[in-house]
């Protein structure tokens, strides 16, 4: 069944035709007009109440259809997730940094929701998988602690804030240093940023790269004098190529900075923020929950496995979701998708083809019941499709 999905216009989104979210949506909704001054941040595909997808032919919400046809989810999915679709599938177009954040584990989410229901509005966890559609920038996980210590040692402005450089234990050092930045007096952050920005103007290209001057300046232009800017010296800075992914499990600090991506996640809105945001920063909760493990940036890339000649599977360590990337060359002409034990949602990113009851083109989104195949024919342009489903095999 073809779906009609919804757009979210968050202010960090890309504007107008620069947004892949907008162009994909426009391609399958001719009545839609793209406004070049409007940010188009997210395209939601799923049953979430904030932007529920509809069956295009009937106008019925997908949630209602699943409620009336729970067998479409697949037996194991229906039993495991109380007859509900367990994931929310998205396309993101990021122009401005999203907040530095982490998501609680399932148990912690239940605890936070019980104590602070107005802030943490549901009891579910929120693991996420992001796959780049264009060059994509992100901060993800703590850097190797030796790198962080080097920044603290060589950047006097940072060293004044982080007064624990003599702590030998890496985890203890990381905890104290991270908290010191987030709890630093606002005026000290203002003075720190002023000094850093002035110093960067006199550095040569090599030293600017060493101290990440371009990124610090950009984040300061977006969130002036925010303590989260200094997190670039704590977190891995990743430049993802198209098809490269990152998996963000519980307690993993991260932030998307720019680019377009596919995202799949558990159905939740539980976010604990650390900076680069005007929203609530819950320092105590965040500092208690984080995974204080330093890793190399290359270790943060989440690699897919090859399922068949045309399908690569991104399979995270949670039951809620997985994502398949399907590439069908025009030379093949036709293709039959792999059967899944779970209901799935597909979106076409590139290419032209036919399926049993209609046309596939960029922006086409389909709901496929469990144990069904998508029969693709007349592939006249190379197809790139992403398919989301529960991680039950």
Three-state secondary-structure class, residue 390: coil
Report DSSP letters for 142-211, one per residue.
EPPHHHHHHHHHH-HHHHHH---TT--SHHHHHHHHHHHHHTS-HHHHHHHHHHHHHHHTT--HHHHHHT
- Concerning whether 340 is annotated as a catalytic residue, the answer is no
Q: List, in sequence order, every residue forming a beta bridge with 171; answer none if it has no partner.
A: none
Query: What's 247's DSSP letter?
Result: E
Query: Among residues 143, 179, 218, 273, which one is catalytic?
Result: 273
Among candidate residues 310, 292, 42, the one with its CA nearest the CA of residue 167: 292
Contacts of residue 154, defined as CB under 8 A and 6 or more positions apart, other chains included, come to none
CA 365 to CA 359: how far, in whole Å? 11
Retrieve residue 58's tokens.
């009937």
CA gyration radius, the chain:
22
Active-site residues: which are they?
Answer: 273
């Amino acid at each position: 069944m073809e779906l009609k999905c919804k757009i979210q216009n968050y202010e960090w989104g890309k504007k107008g035709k620069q947004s892949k979210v907008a162009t994909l949506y426009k391609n399958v909704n001719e009545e839609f007009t793209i406004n070049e001054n409007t940010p188009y941040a997210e395209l939601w595909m799923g049953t979430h109440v904030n932007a529920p997808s509809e069956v295009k032919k009937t106008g019925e919400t997908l949630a209602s259809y699943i409620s009336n046809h729970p067998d479409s989810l697949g037996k194991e999915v229906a039993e495991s997730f109380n007859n509900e679709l367990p994931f929310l599938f998205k396309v993101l177009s990021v122009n401005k940094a999203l907040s530095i954040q982490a998501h609680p584990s399932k148990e912690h989410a239940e605890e936070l929701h019980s104590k602070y229901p107005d802030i943490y509005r549901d009891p579910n966890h929120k693991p996420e998988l992001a796959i780049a559609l264009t060059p994509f920038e992100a901060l993800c996980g703590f850097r190797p602690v030796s790198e962080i210590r080097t920044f603290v040692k060589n950047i006097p402005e940072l060293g004044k804030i982080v007064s624990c450089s003599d702590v030998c234990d890496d985890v203890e050092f990381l905890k104290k240093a991270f908290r010191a930045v987030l709890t630093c007096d606002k005026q000290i952050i203002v003075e720190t940023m002023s000094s850093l920005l002035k110093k960067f103007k006199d550095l040569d290209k090599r030293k600017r790269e060493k101290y990440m001057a371009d990124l610090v300046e950009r984040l300061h232009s977006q969130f002036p004098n925010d303590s989260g800017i200094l997190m670039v010296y704590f977190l891995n800075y990743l430049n993802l190529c198209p098809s490269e992914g990152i998996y963000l499990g519980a307690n993993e600090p991260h932030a998307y900075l720019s680019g377009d991506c596919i995202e799949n996640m558990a159905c939740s809105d539980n976010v604990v923020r650390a900076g680069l945001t005007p929203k609530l920063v819950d320092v105590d909760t965040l500092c208690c929950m984080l995974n204080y493990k330093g890793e190399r940036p290359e270790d943060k890339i989440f690699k897919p496995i090859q399922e068949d000649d045309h399908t690569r599977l991104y399979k995270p360590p949670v039951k809620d979701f997985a994502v398949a990337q399907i590439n069908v060359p025009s030379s093949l002409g036709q293709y039959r998708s792999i059967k899944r034990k779970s209901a799935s949602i597909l979106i076409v990113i590139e290419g032209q083809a036919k399926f049993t009851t209609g046309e596939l083109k960029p922006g086409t989104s389909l709901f496929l019941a469990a144990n069904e195949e998508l029969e693709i024919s007349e592939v006249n342009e190379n197809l790139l499709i992403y398919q989301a489903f529960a991680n039950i095999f």
